[in-house]
A = this chain, B = another copy of it.
Amino acid sequence: MSSVNPSTHSAAILTIGNELLNGDVVNTNASWLGQTLRGFGVPCETVLTITDRKERIIRALEELWVDHDLVIISGGLGPTRDDVTKLALLDFFNDTLVRDTAVLEHVSQYFLQRGRAVSEVNRAQADVPARATVLFNDLGTAPGLLFEQEGRLLAAMPGVPYELHHITEKRLIPELEKRWKKSERRVLQRYYRTTGIGESDLSDRVLTELEHRIPPDVDIAFLPHPQGVDIRITQVNGRSGDAFLQFVEWISDTAGDFIYSEDYRQSLAARIVELLGDGNQTLALAESCSGGYLADALTDVPGSSRCFAGGVVAYSNDVKVRQLGVDPGILEAHGAVSAPVALAMAKGAAITLGTDFGISTTGVAGPSGGTPVKPVGTVWIGFWAADGAHFACRFHFTTERLVNKERSFAAAMDLLRRHVTGVPGFPYHPEVVRGTGTPFRDPD
């Protein structure tokens, strides 16, 4: 059907606008289109962002059509004079404008319904290149445009995100499906979200074990983010789905209990809320150095009120004593950043709020406040469970305040996850202190 080798379908995205170049707007259209294209089975290999000058757009189109058989343009289709994408397309395809009656009717209705007059500038939105297929825009006035030439496709879309999403899903994808068969764009993909292990340790562990068993056409990526590292395994246009499934099984075995979710959209907080909800268990927090980050992240999850009772942000020692019942003598003897205080805070939070679990953080978030013995990045996380577990772990994070808050969150949630799911592994071993006067469930 297409003159292009079916196994080489690939896409480029061209986004146009100064607001993207100067950072006023983050290019979420590109990432949304990239995800959508991958889901469709045609990987995006280039994203280019340029200014809204006609000559620049034409040159970009010439470059992108060398390597890709689908180019998607976003932006510059509006009615104002800095919207020059349509003019560039006319030049590029040596085409002329015709007025589309369906679009004209839609544009007229659009303004009528909003009680506004239709100007000639607005009517001009219905002028489309004669060769283009109109990708009708139900949500706005600028239609999408699809060009086809020698088996290559070029789609131009408005830059307003919800209009772009709408036209892509309802108009463009169906047009692509008509032209490119499913067998030509097969993508198998699996995600494992891990936490408690660094990027290089995880890739060493996985790749050392499996180096010689990676099927051809399979790509493994290790994607670090503040809460852990995602493993993404992708096979594009692979012959054997079975080999892929066997391989991801091996990956899963190798990464083992570092994996907290197989759903790449599930955050660590969402996984914790799910786990606690499953067990009808409740959690209270006592946050010092994390300053509310843990509570904020947990309450981002809809339905978290079922398992999250609340917490105390104990930024001053006074609050640790008054709200959490921490013994002032312990604070004086060991300092706020210490195992005994972390233990007392975790227990205090759970007892005071009447929950199954209590978790605490106390540390030196930075940038100042560090000492040789307790440098910036030193964080004690305390854990208390109604079933008897009571321990604190020391971590050494970074010199960056915000990173230290994120890492405290990830480590605290991982301690809870490992306890609740009963996994035997415990990667935080060397610096664990048991709670005094309470039964200690050895975390290993």
Contact = CB atoms under 8 A, between A and B. Distances in A.
**Residue of A311, A400, A403 contacting most chain B CB atoms (<10 Å):** A311
A292 interface: yes
A203 to B, nearest CB: 6
A20 B34 CA distance: 8
A23 B32 contact: yes
Contacts of A179: none
Interface string A400-430: 1111010000000000000000000000001
B45 A46 contact: no
A393 to B, nearest CB: 14
Contact of A319 (B19, B115, B310): B310
Interface string A1-41: 00000000000000000111111111110111111111000
Given A199-B80, A292-B294, A313-B295, A318 B354 contact: yes
A51 interface: yes
Nearest to A201: B116
Contact of A63 (B45, B63, B403): B63
Contacts of A298: 291-292
Nearest to A366: B302
Chain A facing B: main interface SS: mixed
A44 B30 contact: no
Contact of A398 (B43, B139, B366, B403): B139
Contacts of A264: 24
Contacts of A183: none
A313 B292 CA distance: 8
A114 interface: yes
A108 interface: no
Given A19-B223, A43-B21, A399-B139, A200 B79 contact: yes
A22 B47 contact: no
A139 B45 contact: no
A121 B200 CA distance: 10
Interface in A199-224: 199-200, 203, 219, 221-224
A300 interface: yes
A396 interface: yes
A440 B210 CA distance: 70
A308 B33 CA distance: 38
Given A27-B30, A316-B305, A22 B50 contact: no
Interface string A284-315: 01010011111110111011110011111111
A271 interface: no
A296 B289 CA distance: 10
8 contacts: A21-B46, A47-B49, A80-B199, A80-B203, A119-B200, A292-B299, A295-B295, A312-B312
